Amino acid sequence: MSEPSKVDRDTLHLLAKHSKWEATSIRKVLLNTGLRPGISEWMFFIDYLLLSLGAIFLVCGLFFFFAYNWNSMSKFLKLGFAQFPIVGLGIYLFFKKTNSLIGKIVLTALSCLIGLAFAVYGQIYQTGATAFDFLSAWALLSLVWVLISDFPPLWFLYLILLNLTVLFRIEQFHRMMDYRDVSVIFTLLNFVALLGFETLNHYRKPMTIHRWFPQVVGAFILWILFFNLAGYILNDFPDSQYRVTGPLILWLAFLLIPMGFVWFYHVKKEIIMTGLIPFSGICLIALLIGKMIEGNELMMFLIIGIFVVVSCGFLISFLTRFKKKISALNNVLLLTAQENES
C-alpha cells in the first residue's frame, strides 16, 4: 500500500479555484507544503545530478578508452582491467557494511563486473564457451552477492540474468521445444521469484518503496499467460510432437491469474495490477467473441466494440471506487500518525 497522502496539488488547485487568494501567499504555501522544492532540496538534487553525470561520463570515457586501445593491450592488462575493480570493490566491502545503500550499490556493481571479467577471459583465451555457459557461470558466481545484498534492484537484475540464461539454454540445446513448454518454464521461474519476494516482504520487513518489483514481475507473468491464452483462443499453436507439459500452461493461467488478482486487489491493495488483470481479461473475451462469430464481420466488430466499451466503463468505475478506498485508508493512516505524533 502507498504512503499516507499529504496535501496534494489537485486539492490545492480546487482550493484556489474557490477562493480569493493572492499569488504571493500561494507561492508560500507551495513551498511550505513541499509541493515545490525548497533550497535544501535543490542542493540535494544538484548534488546527486553532478555525481551521477560525473560517474556516468567517467565510466563511459574509460570504456571508450579501453575499447580504442583494446587490440594493443597485453593479455595481463586486459585481465587486470577486468579484475582490478572486482578486487578493489571486494576490499571496500570487506571494510564497509553491506547493509548501507552504498554497500548495496557496490554489491550490484560487483555482480555486474563478474560478467565483464568472464567476457574478457572468454575473449582472450577463445574458450569456445557459448552464451549459455557465459551467463550460467555469471549467474552462479554472483549468487552469493545477490543473496547477501538485500537489495531489490540487484534481485531484479539477477532475475533478468536468470531469464536470459534459461532463454539461451533453450535456444542452444532445445530448439524444438514447444513454446507452451517454454512459457511454463518462464512462468514458474518468475512466479518463484515473486513468491520469494512477497514471502520475505511478509515475514521479515515490509519494503514499501520496492513495491515496483512484484508489480513488474507480476506484469511479466501476466503477459506470458495472456499470449498463451490468446494463442489457444485463436488456435495459433501448431501441433508439436515435442510438447511435454500438456495443458499445464492453461492450468497455470487459470490458477495464477485469479490468485494474482486476489493478492494485488484484496491483500496488497495495489491499483496497477488490479487494473491490468481485468483489462487482459476483457481483451481475451473480446478475442473469444471474435473467434465465435468469425464469419459475420459486421456483427463481430459491433459486438466486440460494444463489449469493450461497456466492460471498460465497468472496469473504470471499479478502479475509481478502489482508488477512493485506498485514499480513505491512507487518510485514516495519516490521522493516526498525526495523533500519535501529538
- Interface residue with other proteins among 89, 148, 188, 304 (CB under 8 A) is 304
Three-state DSSP at 190 gives helix
Closest CA relative to residue 129, chosen from 147, 115, 142: 115
Nearer to other proteins, 8 or 171 (CB): 8
Q: Pick out residues in 245-284 that bind other proteins (CB under 8 A).
A: 271-272, 275-276, 279, 282-283
The CB density around residue 322, as the number of other CB atoms within 10 Å, is 16
Could you say whether residue 58 binds other proteins (CB under 8 A)? yes
Nearer to other proteins, 15 or 144 (CB): 15
Closest CA relative to residue 180, chosen from 121, 111, 252: 252
| Residue 145, burial from CB neighbour count under 10 angstroms (0-12, 13-18, 19+) | buried
Could you say whether residue 340 binds other proteins (CB under 8 A)? no
Instruction: Tell me how far apart the alpha carbons of residues 32 and 18 are, in angstroms, rounded to a whole number.
Output: 21
Closest distance between other proteins and the C-beta of residue 4, in Å?
A: 10
Could you say whether residue 50 binds other proteins (CB under 8 A)? yes
Could you say whether residue 223 binds other proteins (CB under 8 A)? no
Tell me the one-letter amino acid at 9: R
Instruction: Tell me how far apart the alpha carbons of residues 229 and 233 are, in angstroms, rounded to a whole number.
Output: 6
The CB density around residue 333, as the number of other CB atoms within 10 Å, is 15
Could you say whether residue 29 binds other proteins (CB under 8 A)? yes
Q: Pick out residues in 62-101 that bind other proteins (CB under 8 A).
A: 62-65, 67-68, 100-101
Which residue matches cell numbers 533478468?
Answer: 160
Could you say whether residue 230 binds other proteins (CB under 8 A)? no
Q: How many residues of this chain interact with other proteins, rule: CB under 8 A?
A: 93
Q: Which range of residues in 7-15, 71-79, 115-123, 140-148 is near other proteins by CB under 8 A?
A: 7-15
Nearer to other proteins, 128 or 295 (CB): 295
Instruction: Tell me how far apart the alpha carbons of residues 208 and 254 are, in angstroms, rounded to a whole number.
Output: 29
